[in-house]
Structure 1
């Protein structure tokens, strides 16, 4: 599966079976710091950042055959894979409690 830029999905979408090396190349070509991951049914299953891939690539267990889904399995929590947690992390000083989504749910 090639990378597809989908404006509605807020970023380039790639298959979770893509290798880390290819994903890094896609990020560089697209000029982005994250990718949206899709499963075999083209359903968005999460996201991965350039920083996460760089840390993984620098580990002693890294090989060029590691797939993005393997990187996801190594995450400490599944919450790190959601696009909503990514946008909360990418806004300095903004917490979930101060985000527009959190405020809209208040009475």
Structure 2
């Protein structure tokens, strides 16, 4: 019996600008803390967020989650879908006030 080696596939690789190409796929009901743990474990800076039908809906970055976690609006109940649908106030926003002193 002889072992035959095939030639490697030399077809050009095309880079696709597609949401599917980024990071592990996670469900949008994942909490921020779990998402940060997944990112740390996978050593990635992005996660592809999917809806209940496993359709990619958006990307979330490590920086965005870290800023949120360190902000005063953060709670351990915040899920990725809360961030992506815009229902959270900006991490730098001050509740009930305008400007630095709430004028």
> What is the CA–CA distance in structure 2 between the aligned matches of 1:13 and 1:47, rounded to whole Å?
9
> What is the CA–CA distance in structure 2 between the aligned matches of 1:14 and 1:34, rounded to whole Å?
11
| Structure showing the higher helix proportion among its residues | 1
> What is the CA–CA distance in structure 2 between the aligned matches of 1:49 and 1:29, rounded to whole Å?
15
Output aligned runs, 1:83-94, within 5 Å.
none
Which structure has the higher relative contact order (CA within 8 Å, separation 6+)?
2
| Structure showing the higher strand proportion among its residues | 1
Shift in Å at residue 13 of structure 1? Answer: 0.2
Cα RMSD of the aligned pairs, angstroms, is: 1.7
> What is the CA–CA distance in structure 2 between the aligned matches of 1:33 and 1:68, rounded to whole Å?
15
Shift in Å at residue 71 of structure 1? Answer: 1.1
> What is the CA–CA distance in structure 1 between the aligned matches of 2:86 and 2:71, rounded to whole Å?
12
Shift in Å at residue 9 of structure 1? Answer: 2.4
1:56–1:71 contact (8 Å) kept in structure 2: no
**Normalising by structure 1, what TM-score?**
0.60
Question: Size of the alignment, in residue pairs?
Answer: 68
Listed as ranges, the gaps of 5+ residues in structure 1 are 1-7, 76-107
> What is the CA–CA distance in structure 2 between the aligned matches of 1:30 and 1:62, rounded to whole Å?
23
